[in-house]
A and B are shown apart, each in its own frame.
Chain A
Amino acid sequence: MLNFAQNFIRVGLDVGSTTVKAAVIDNRGGIIYTAYARHYSKITEKVCDILSEISGKFGVSLPLAFSGSAGMGIAQRIGIPFIQEVFATKVALKDANADVAIELGGEDAKILFLSGGLEVRMNGTCAGGTGSFIDQMASLLGVTADEMNSLAKEAKKIYPIASRCGVFAKTDIQPLLNQGADKSDLSRSILRAIVNQTLGGLAQGRAIEGSVVYLGGPLTFFTELQKCFDEALRLKGVCPKHSLFFVAKGAALLSDKTFGLPDLISNIQKTGKTNFNTLRPLFNSSADYDEFKKRHDIKTPYADIADYEKNGKKAYIGIDAGSTTIKMAVIGEDGELLLSHYQSNKGGAIEIVRGYLAEIYCKYPLLNLVSGASTGYGEDLIKNAFLLPVSVVETAAHFTAAKKLMPDVDFVIDIGGQDMKCFKIKNGAVDDIFLNEACSSGCGSFLQVFAEGLGCGIEEFANLAVAAQNPVDLGSRCTVFMNSAVKQAQKDGASLSDISAGLAVSVVKNALYKVIRVRDKRELGKNIVVQGGTFLSDAVLRAFEQETDVGVIRPDIAGVMGAYGAALYALSAPDTGIIGKDELAEFSYQTKAAACGLCLNNCSLTVNLFSGGRRFISGNRCERPVTGKLQDESLNIFDYKLSELSKYMQKAGNLHLSPQRSKIGLPMVLNFFELLPFWHTFFDCLGFDVITTPFSDGNTFKEGQSAVPSDTVCYPAKLVHGHIRRLINLGADNIFYPCMSYNLDEKISNNHYNCPVVAYYPEVLNLEQNRLIRCFIDLNDKKAFAKKIHAVLSKRFDLPRREVNLAVKNAYGEYAAYMRKLKQKGAEIIAAAAAQNKDVIVLCGRPYHADPEVNHGIPQLITAMGKAVISEDCLPPLVTGTSVLNQWTYHARMYSAAKYVAAHPNIHLVQLVSFGCGLDAVTADEVRRQVEEGGRLYTQLKIDEITNLGAVKIRLKSLFAALEDE
């Protein structure tokens, strides 16, 4: 197909999200010249540089084509052929004798199946960011990407890290870092996560075999990443020569039009901007900016530390070990600030705090530092390491600080590196708390890493935004999406300053519309304090003002407010104490990674050993690995549910099978968490040997990951594939998993549907040999059901109708008994909690949230915090007026639970939402409305594959702190 008759050389340019690659090929298609450069968003300049070099070397008139995501825009503007990059790779691989090519780029991941039915696959929107993800992670660890690669070689342990997307992975890694996990272990775990994401998301069940080639930047530069792929694929892939330039080569091979390069260059330079959605500028004039500068920075009270040394007055330290930064503040007896410190933690919180304390002891030998308190993610670790008497949940620390500076504050918004925390204050107490969920996390550190990637500091980056005339609209979904929006803006020729301003606006919008969900700015209150390192950027602060149209106050110590609050807390706490100068001099520590293994959660523990034989374990959900004793779970309905369900799962099978009735498998997924008593009894009665899969564990997802067709479906659904695989391994000849449009009508809702995923997930399964009994079942009408199920099963088994009728009767009876038991147990727990004067938390979700791998041990975490925990399905059904259409059975129970909670002061509602659950976009607001109408606090926990509970802990602690305040 390709015409090689002419003796010419051709040029291909691959302009990607982070780099420009060029290849010049000769008439046989061999590469004779390459160029590779990071473009730092200055795409036109870099492209022109490379083109002029090529023009100087190979002549002014050459055939040429563009490829790559950022190349698309340029090609369009100046009318040069554009070759889609995956396609270009395919063409370039024609003679490579490869069966499969795996190509990772800055933003995209691709798999090409070249033999046995050509197929090309590219990651979906939600899984973007591979190369840039490595950059972000390396910066998180405080190492270069190359160092991360070498570190990965030394790894001894792999931590489970969510592979769904960059944002989620970061949520898992950040707390591990703060717990002191080893950087080599983390490095390798990160690379593994990339492998899981690529293979899981793109292979979608198709086997990767034969000769595999690795292409693109990350796979070329990181030998350990190659090894991780090799391990996962159980083969040895090859990273060929010129692995960076296959796209460019493909573009060159497909180039058919000759262009005069000098003209082209001047054309590219001329056509700068095209249309992109712009926002209003942050400042209209420099006068505007000056006025803004004057308005801000309220002063914290200061005192002279020399004075304190002289008089021996008591000083207190607050340490805020945040996700990406460490903040410390030393205050005096009246809360005046003596010293403050703010620094990126680069993965070594303990080391930084030790250094800072040593510096204080050395510089101010006479300072009477009597006590301290810690807060933030590293709260417990720092408290234990440095012998602090108290620690405080960060929301409380921030509130304390804001109140000190502005006694009538009624709204606090804090945007840190990883998290956003906002709270409303009414009558001096926290009235409502908003914390971001995983998806909108990391905005602050994203700005920072982005700035660093461009080779400028965060402040310089913010200054660029101040001058921007046409800020780009970059959306507000999450940092992965923002990153790709930046790519689009770059393609459209947006300037750096417009991008910088756009990012500031995006971060603010994320906080306002995703986290706080503000509709009316009056909701925010009159006296708003903004704080957190991210607000140190004038651009972010201004964007916030513009977006809300309200005046806000940014303290001059916006970045260290958490530490300041913690110090204030230490000041008011009865206990005092802190590690002394001598102890500190001898202080040393070691960390060890371990898997707990004492229960299904199998928590990844980090054991910190401090000098003097002290030990601190983190990463645990319950006290068992610390005390060695089983935690008391008598007030935990989830524990009860699991043990009740286990009775069925462990029941011995029918031994005397008639030849027609074989092993039948039931997957413990989705609605089986409620219907297992029904189906198990039904099949047991009919004489089948019923096999059930055990509850999910950390491996269930991975075992089925490659078969998951949609990467944005909820985690409980993704687990189904692993269960099915296990059922097959357990020898289930038949798998029973029916589709059910309708759930049971409990007479408290307009309709009684299942959600689309619960209703039809069996349709997704590709099972060989008709192992799956495909059917549509409705349980509402017993007679109709009996008839239907008889018809369905009769296709495979010889079952007399009379036996089926009996089994049906028993199944309904068993199900009713099970539900009755649940309700009874719920009532018992409520009564027992009342007797013990404990609060009760209704962990409000779906029956399948009982799966330990789905709830990640949150119920135990709650009991460990001294509360009782029940679920929505054990409360009495109540009819409640709703503003939305109440048409799903499971969801109707949540509205009912909300109504129940609203009427019971000692019972509180925490909604569990599986990430990607579309229906909860409807129910969450409605449940919140119901709870708040009763004047109560609403809390939501979003859960997914992420195993780390750091954010969940903070949220729960914040809730409990607010409840105590009341």
Chain B
Amino acid sequence: MDTIKKDYAKFTKGMKKTHTILVPNMLPVHFELILSLFEQKGYKFEILKSADPALIETGLKYVHNDICYPCLLVIGQFIDALLSGRYDLSKIALAITQTGGGCRASNYIHLLRIALKNAGLSHIPVLSINFSGMEKENSLKFSLSNLKRARGAIVYSDMLYMLANHYKSYEVNKGDTEKLLSHWTNKLKPMLKNTKYKTTKRVLGEIYRDFNYIKVDYVPKIRVGIVGEIYVKYSSLGNNNLEEFLRGEDCETVVPGLMGFVTYCMANNVFDAKFYGRGKLMGLVYRLILKSLDKWELLIKEAAGGDPRFCAPSGHRHLFKLTEGIIDLGVKMGEGWLLPAEMAELAEAGIPDIVCAQPFGCLPNHICGKSAIKRVKDLYPAANITPIDYDSSATRVNQENRIKLMLAVAKERLTADEAVTEQNKVKNNAKGTKKQEKLVV
């Protein structure tokens, strides 16, 4: 029974031509590629890049202060932008992603509308971006062909993201990676029309080789995995520039891509049918879609050809397996079983040092984050996982201090490993040798 009041502004057909749609920033490359699909259909977007601390204040003003941090940031960023005077408010719309599900995140779009109303901006329409047919009247619609293109866009973005994370940590000339990243982002946009498996595979190979030309200096670094609630995991605004911070601490960051989350959402429909016997038809449909994604998920791994420098996604079937002994696949709210599965995926790939980023008081994370860590550690004794809470009032010094503790433990192991295994020592690299001395003491 639908009880939601429908008294909010709608995005009408004509607005496509006249309005610019503001989108919050989370995964810049992913968003840019996916939104380009709609740009080709005549929509105009702007991804909000603002990170002014004032937007947190705005967020605190317009949403309940106990709501999750991502919600506060996204709404704060929107309202801050709308009130900034930069835009003609008669030609602006907003778009926000919506996944549905039992977590309070499915309420973000409604809380945004309430906030708009309270800010005197209720005439601004909000579009939902979702793959599950919510808000039919008021969403960016993915046609079948667009879904196929989106599939390509996600695979490409995941590839770029994985490569960029690696190369940014080792590049000799600062900025090389970023340049190549934006080169490929632009180059890929028109290529998304081609949704053939073979083409995608070829292009991924090209990307991989292209990045290989980046001049690197392989000093030994701790590889730190980042998992967590999707927004604070990815968004630099949400996690106080976690990736940058870790690189500054001489680490390489390894962050699982978006496809894992997409397949996680789909798989939950399959499990609903399996565990509860409900939505059997949808369960079947999603089972088929997932099956069709099997080979697409593994494209990155193939393109990287077993290169040990990368932790390529191992596919949803493998993720399912990784949950054994840690969490049941029925836990489907928030990041659910995916979160510990990604921890296990990283630990299995030899990246046991992990930051689990979560909003302060995140409900599903009590269960699938903090509680699961112990069991991941039982299965992977080397696992060195630190949960970090992000919040408008949590201080950086506390967060960084805890991460540094995790890094100190990691460094000690790195040093010990190197003392034991000769071949792990970096060859003929002056800087590297110096580094090593520092680590030994």
- Whether B438 is near chain A, meaning CB under 8 Å from some CB there, is yes
Contacts A739-B328, A763-B331, A764-B367; A485 near B361 (Cβ below 8 A)? no
B393 in contact with A475 (CB, 8 Å): yes
A120 at the interface (CB under 8 A from B): yes
Evaluate contact between A491 and B332: CB separation under 8 angstroms: no
Contact A717 B366 (CB under 8 A): yes
Tell me whether A36 is interfacial, beta carbon within 8 Å: no
For B215, the chain A residues whose CB sits under 8 A away are none
Q: A481-B393, A774-B328 are in contact. Are A918 and B361 (CB under 8 A)?
A: yes
Q: Is the pair A884, B276 in contact by a Cβ cutoff of 8 Å? A: no
Interface residues as binary, A445-482 with B (CB distance below 8 Å gives 1, 0 otherwise):
00000000000000000000000000001011110011
A756-B333 in contact (CB<8A) = yes
Tell me, rounded to whole Å, the shortest Cβ–Cβ distance linking A759 to chain B.
Answer: 6
Taking CB atoms, residues of chain A closer than 8 Å to B244 are none
The bracket for how many chain A residues form the interface is 35 or more
Specify which of A84, A916, A921 is in contact with B67 (CB 8 Å cutoff): A921
B198 interface residue (CB < 8 Å to A): no
Q: How far is the CB of B37 from chain A (nearest CB, A)?
A: 27
Q: Which of B337-390 contact A (CB under 8 A)?
A: 360-371, 373-375, 381, 387, 389
Q: Which residue of A475, A509, A761, A918 contacts B367 across the interface (Cβ within 8 Å)?
A: A761
Contact code string B76-101 (vs A, CB < 8 Å = 1, else 0) = 00000000000000000000000001
Q: For the complex, is B330 an interface residue (Cβ under 8 Å from A)?
A: yes
Query: When the two chains form the complex, which single residue of B272, B277, B370, B394 contacts A781, counting CB atoms closer than 8 Å?
Result: B277
Contact A488 B64 (CB under 8 A): no
The answer to whether B111 and A922 have CB atoms under 8 Å apart is: yes
In whole angstroms, how far apart are the Cα atoms of A212 and B306 in the complex?
47
> Chain A residues near B61 (CB, 8 Å)?
513, 518-519
Q: How many whole Å from A741's CB to the nearest CB in chain B?
A: 6
Given contacts A481-B393, A760-B367, is CB(A883)–CB(B409) below 8 Å? no
A727 at the interface (CB under 8 A from B): no
Is B258 an interface residue, CB under 8 A from the partner? Answer: no
Q: Is B103 an interface residue (CB 8 A)?
A: yes
Complex-state Cα separation, A421 to B66, whole angstroms:
20
Other-chain contact of A784, B5, B278, B412, B415 (Cβ < 8 Å): B278
Q: Which residue of A lies closest to B359 (CB)?
A: A918
Bound-state Cα–Cα, A710 to B374, Å? 12
The B-contacting residues of A in range 194-227, CB under 8 angstroms, are 204-205
A-B contact count (CB 8 A): 245
Determine whether the beta carbon of A73 is less than 8 Å from that of B397: yes
**Are A919 and B405 within 8 A (Cβ)?**
no
A757 and B114 contacting across the interface, CB-CB below 8 Å: no
Please, how many angstroms separate the alpha-carbon atoms of A882 and B365 in the complex?
Answer: 27
Give bound CA distance, A128 to B62, whole Å: 28
Contact yes or no, B392 A755, CB < 8 A: no
| A710 contacts B3, C-beta separation under 8 Å | no
- Asked if A487 is at the interface of the complex by the 8 Å CB criterion, the answer is yes
Q: Which residues of B contact A748 (CB under 8 A)?
A: 1, 3
Other-chain contact of B3, A83, A204, A519, A882 (Cβ < 8 Å): A882
* Min CB gap B437→A, angstroms: 8
Asked whether A881 is an interface residue with its Cβ less than 8 Å from the other chain, the reply is: yes
Given B1, B110, B440, which contacts A884 in the complex, CB threshold below 8 Å?
B110
Which residues in window 482-500 of A have CB below 8 A to B?
482, 484-485, 487-488, 491
CB-nearest residue of chain A relative to B395? Answer: A488
B227 interface residue (CB < 8 Å to A): no
Name the residue of chain A whose CB is nearest to the CB of B399.
A125
Q: B241 interface residue, CB < 8 Å from A?
A: no
Given contacts A83-B408, A84-B404, contact A1 B440 (CB under 8 A): yes
Q: A839: CB under 8 A from chain B? A: no
- B1, B3, B397: which contacts A72 (Cβ < 8 A)? B397
B330, A117: Cβ atoms under 8 Å? no
Closest Cβ of chain A to B186, distance in Å, is 33
* A735 close to chain B: CB less than 8 A: no
Q: How far is the CB of A657 from chain B (nearest CB, A)?
A: 29
A788 / chain B contacts, CB cutoff of 8 Å: 275-277
How far, in whole Å, are A82 and B389 apart by their CA atoms in the complex? 23
Which of chain A's residues have a CB closer than 8 A to the CB of B113? 883
Which residues from chain A contact B180 at a C-beta distance below 8 Å? Answer: none
Q: Which 7 A/B pairs are nearest by Cβ-Cβ distance?
A: A477-B393, A475-B393, A87-B408, A753-B102, A778-B276, A784-B277, A921-B66
Other CB < 8 Å A-B pairs besides A741-B275, A747-B1, 20 of them?
A86-B405, A87-B408, A120-B409, A125-B360, A477-B393, A481-B393, A482-B393, A484-B398, A709-B366, A709-B374, A712-B389, A756-B103, A760-B368, A763-B371, A781-B277, A788-B277, A884-B107, A884-B111, A924-B64, A925-B114
Binding site for B on A (CB under 8 A): 1-3, 69, 72-73, 82-87, 117-118, 120, 122, 124-126, 128, 204-205, 254, 256, 277, 473, 475-478, 481-482, 484-485, 487-488, 491, 509, 513-514, 517-520, 709-710, 712-713, 717, 739, 741-742, 747-751, 753-757, 759-761, 763-764, 766, 774, 776-778, 780-781, 784, 787-788, 879-888, 892, 895, 916, 918-922, 924-925
What are 13 contact pairs spanning A and B, CB under 8 A? A72-B401, A73-B397, A122-B401, A477-B392, A481-B394, A710-B366, A748-B3, A764-B366, A777-B276, A883-B110, A918-B362, A921-B65, A924-B64
